[in-house]
Chains A and B, each alone.
Chain A
Amino acid sequence: MTTVNAVSRGRVSWWRNPWRKPRILAAITWGYLAWSLLPVGIAALFSFNSGRSRTSLQGLSMRWYYGDPSLSVLHDPTLQGALIHTFVLGILTTVIAVPLGVAFALGIDRWRGRLPAGFNFAMLMSFVVPEIIMGVSLFFVVTRLHTPLHAGTAGQVVGLVTFQLSYPVIIVRARLLTIGKHYEEAATDLGASRLGAIRRVLLPMLYPAIFASTVLVFADVIDDFVIVQKLSAGAGTEPVAVKIYNTARGAPTPALNALATLLLAASLIAITLGYLGYKLLSRNEGQSSIESFAGQV
């Protein structure tokens, strides 16, 4: 009897303690993390299934990566092609969108007036507009007008650059705001030209932001779906996301899981390298780097 009493009083006093540990919040957080990550882990696990099933594990093997002579990612040209095409899109888009965005950010930030404010507004609209609106409008341009722009790799890259342009702009402008103008003014006072001040003073200070936006754009492009689907020209230009969308509800083999897992691995490698690079570039700034990197993304 007394023990029961003590236990119940113990519980109440735990609740009444104003400095109690936030156990409920902790439970929600860990529960959320399990819910968000376990399904993906299971999907990755099934890519190693030695059987054909995607619902019961029949032993582990590398069959769906390279073992199977016709259905594995290595030997099925459509799966292999999807993976290669994804990376081609990722690299081309990043190479175009990041310099374009950085230059736009610098120009818009310093060129004062109504006109640049309007362009900045257009850029922010391109950031918030649902992807389907941009994807379908470009789809109409490609299918309904006679322009040099066609569906396929070129069309996809152009669409992706349009969609991604706002990321480097927003990140670089946020950074420009914290840097301010004094460093540049000091440089010009000491005799540097305008362009020299940008190149030798401002640009190096922007490296962390440029680098973060490069990683962000690349990782975002290889996961993109709507624009690449709307602007693809048949099976030859379908990246991994479109491949998954087209086959997930059919009867896919675990090779599809293997394809998705390879893309996941690539994303994780890109982001790890990105984090290490970011840490290296911003090592003099004293801020906890994981948090500021998280702030960038």
Chain B
Amino acid sequence: MRRRRFLWVALATPGVLWLLLLFVFPFYVVLSLAFGTLDPLFLSPVPIWNPMHWIPDQFTYVLSHLAGAAGFYGPAILRTFAYVFIASVGCLLIAYPVAYYVSRFGGKRKGMLLVLLIAPFWISYMMRMLAWVNLLQIDGWINKVLSFGGIFNVHIAWLDGRPSTVILGLIYGYIPYMILPLYAGLDRIENSLLEAARDLGASRLSTFRRVTLPMSKSAVVASLLLVTLPMVGDYFTNDLLSASPSTAMFGNLINTAIEADSQVGKGAALLIIMFVVLLAPMLYYVRMTEKAEGGAV
């Protein structure tokens, strides 16, 4: 019995050490910096390793600059949640019908449709953004199409800090990550259940409302989490499609802060705040996965 267990422990150990050393410990470094001080002479961050001596100065600073005249953190954080909310809902409104169509009515074309749905998954995120940067130039194809071959004179500067461009970019960027889990969830629903509902007189709409939708609820929640969590930490979509402080997001705040020595502590504090804000949805997702794994004891 003992020997048996030894084998499993030995197999797991390298991965466990890796995670402890390179995932858990770095997070402790962030905490030590966020609760640390600033060297008064060099203005460089000094981490405090002992949690008993942690000081909350950085957090007080960040929290006192959320709103008001000197509140430069609050607007970006609020903006992030607004953008992410709109973009997630947008993703769902497009992804659900597409996943539903492919799983129900894919028929003989299902394989090909699936390949096309997976394709953006394998195209570099940066290439997909580059494609839009080129299309959205002032003399780019989008403005040309909108000009209808010279009838109108459209010179819209799409890339000059427009919230709509950033939100559309987020939808475009993250929607593939939503469609696949949604498809998997919808495809699991037995066809016979839907046929039964139809045979018993339910219309297409009420079959959807009373059978399909309730049965796909957990897939909807999982896929929403899968796009929402990374979107909150996104800074590059905004950098590429807007590059203006007027659309700066939470991730941009952190990204800018960690560049300057004197701001590192604030960057670390912002990172902790982001983690705490996202903790509940992250734990929820982890719980769901653990259940799917057969309840990891």
Chain A contacts to B: CB under 8 angstroms = 18, 22, 25-26, 28-29, 32-33, 35-37, 39-40, 42-43, 46, 54-56, 100-101, 103-104, 106-108, 110-114, 116-117, 119-134, 136-141, 144-145, 158-159, 161-162, 165, 169-170, 173-174, 177, 194-195, 219, 222-223, 225-226, 240-241, 244-245, 248-249, 256-257, 260-261, 263-264, 267-268, 271, 288, 290-291, 294-295, 297
A contact residues around B140 at 8 Å (CB): 55
Q: What are 23 sample pairs from A and B whose C-beta atoms fall under 8 A apart?
A: A25-B105, A28-B101, A37-B119, A42-B141, A55-B134, A55-B140, A55-B141, A107-B11, A117-B297, A120-B290, A123-B19, A125-B286, A126-B23, A130-B278, A132-B271, A140-B29, A140-B258, A162-B19, A223-B125, A260-B124, A264-B122, A288-B111, A294-B184
B contact residues around A107 at 8 Å (CB): 8-13, 15
Q: Are B233 and A132 in contact (CB under 8 A)?
A: yes
Report Cα–Cα, A158/B271, bound state, in Å.
21
**Which of B100, B123, B274 has the most chain A CB atoms closer than 10 A to its own CB?**
B123
Interface of chain A: mostly helix, strand, loop or mixed: helix
* Cβ < 8 Å to A, chain B residues 114-152: 114-135, 137, 139-141
Report Cα–Cα, A123/B12, bound state, in Å.
12
* Cβ < 8 Å to A, chain B residues 164-204: 172, 175-176, 180, 183-184, 187, 198, 203-204
CB distance from A156 to the nearest CB of B (A): 13
- Additional A-B contact list (4), CB under 8 Å, known A132-B234, A132-B271: A54-B137, A133-B274, A249-B239, A264-B122
A252 to chain B: closest residue by CB: B130
Q: Are A173 and B293 in contact (CB under 8 A)?
A: yes
Report Cα–Cα, A78/B243, bound state, in Å.
24
CB distance from B272 to the nearest CB of A (A): 9
A contact residues around B98 at 8 Å (CB): 28-29, 32
Decide: A165 near B45, CB < 8 A? Known: A140-B30, A249-B240.
no
Q: Are B118 and A36 in contact (CB under 8 A)?
A: no
Chain B contacts to A: CB under 8 angstroms = 3-5, 7-16, 18-20, 22-27, 29-30, 33, 45, 47, 94, 97-98, 100-102, 104-105, 110-111, 113-135, 137, 139-141, 159, 172, 175-176, 180, 183-184, 187, 198, 203-204, 225, 229-230, 232-236, 239-240, 243, 251, 254-255, 258, 264, 267-268, 271, 274-275, 278, 282, 285-286, 289-290, 292-294, 296-297
Q: Are A111 and B8 in contact (CB under 8 A)?
A: yes
Selected from A110, A126, A226, A249, the residue in CB contact (under 8 A) with B133 is A249
B contact residues around A29 at 8 Å (CB): 97-98, 101-102, 113
Q: Are A104 and B11 in contact (CB under 8 A)?
A: yes
Report Cα–Cα, A294/B180, bound state, in Å.
8
Report Cα–Cα, A134/B131, bound state, in Å.
28
CB distance from B72 to the nearest CB of A (A): 19
Report Cα–Cα, A291/B117, bound state, in Å.
12
Decide: A39 near B289, CB < 8 A? Known: A25-B101, A144-B47.
no
Q: Are B236 and A128 in contact (CB under 8 A)?
A: no
Selected from B47, B105, B254, the residue in CB contact (under 8 A) with A136 is B254
CB distance from A30 to the nearest CB of B (A): 9
CB distance from A39 to the nearest CB of B (A): 4
B contact residues around A264 at 8 Å (CB): 122-124, 127
Report Cα–Cα, A215/B7, bound state, in Å.
28
Q: Are A43 and B293 in contact (CB under 8 A)?
A: no
